[in-house]
Amino acid sequence: MSDIEFPPEIVDLKFPLQHFWQAVNGSGPVRIVAMGSSSTAGREDVVPYPYRLEMYLRQHYQGVEPRPAIRIDVLNRGKGGEEANEELQRFDTDIYPDNPALVIWQVGTNAVFHNDQYDVDDVAAKIAEGLARLSGRGFDVLLIDPQYVTKMLWDDRAELSDRMVRRIRAAAERAEVNLFRRWALMRHWHVQNNVSFEQLVDTTDPDKLHQSDWSTQFVSKALSAAITKAAAPGS
């Protein structure tokens, strides 16, 4: 396996994270809400990305002036099996009361996995609705698209995955919010860095849908680097 890469053309965020940066330089704790399904909530022994992200962000900002004792909390609001349709109903209780500087919304996987329950275009419309609501509240928003894993490429799901990824990208562009391209990043590792699906996928998952602890760790590192870069002065 080659060295793992975080290509800037894939990882870098398009828009600055102004509210997050203001919170980092403010007087109180910095809150990030992570909304999503099982990639956010966690599964079995795999440590989900919100907890890793919190650790990496705290390490990055530790000792940085003017707030050397800054506290960053990533609040995990993931629920396995949900999609944007259900997650929209939780915004009032699971996002707004915490008044986060940044909302990370991981979407799209269950629209493909449970393709007998969801319509990709309907889910895309719900994502657009959710982005409008979040942006209207003044939060920085960051979407995360699906994971590049075996189950998302089997049978008719390959075409659905491609459609979902494209719909999410289009929704982010229209709303002018950031998109973390997890699908493209993991695909790059598989194709360019020769990372096997056995490495990318949780081997204890019979569905071959969920990321391994290894790939979750490196996705979290890439996400942390993308956030801190987009929150830097002049970004």
What pLDDT, on a 0 to 100 scale, did the predictor assign at position 156?
84
24 touches 61 (CB < 8 A):
yes
52 SS3 class: helix
Domain residue ranges in the chain: 8-230
Q: Which CATH number fits domain 8-230: 3.30.60.50, 3.40.50.1110, 3.30.390.10, 3.40.50.12780?
A: 3.40.50.1110
CB proximity list for 70: less than 8 A, separation 6 or greater: 24, 30, 58, 61, 62, 64
Which neighbouring-strand residues pair with 178? Answer: 142
What pLDDT, on a 0 to 100 scale, did the predictor assign at position 67?
66
What pLDDT, on a 0 to 100 scale, did the predictor assign at position 235?
61
What pLDDT, on a 0 to 100 scale, did the predictor assign at position 69?
72
Q: For each successive 10 residues of the chain (235 residues), what is the average pLDDT?
A: 84 96 89 97 92 95 74 96 97 97 97 94 97 95 98 92 97 98 98 95 94 97 97 74
72-78 sheet: strands from edge to edge: 72-78, 30-36, 102-106, 140-144, 178-180
Which neighbouring-strand residues pair with 73? Answer: 31
What pLDDT, on a 0 to 100 scale, did the predictor assign at position 51?
97
What's the alpha-carbon Rg for the chain, to the nearest Å? 17
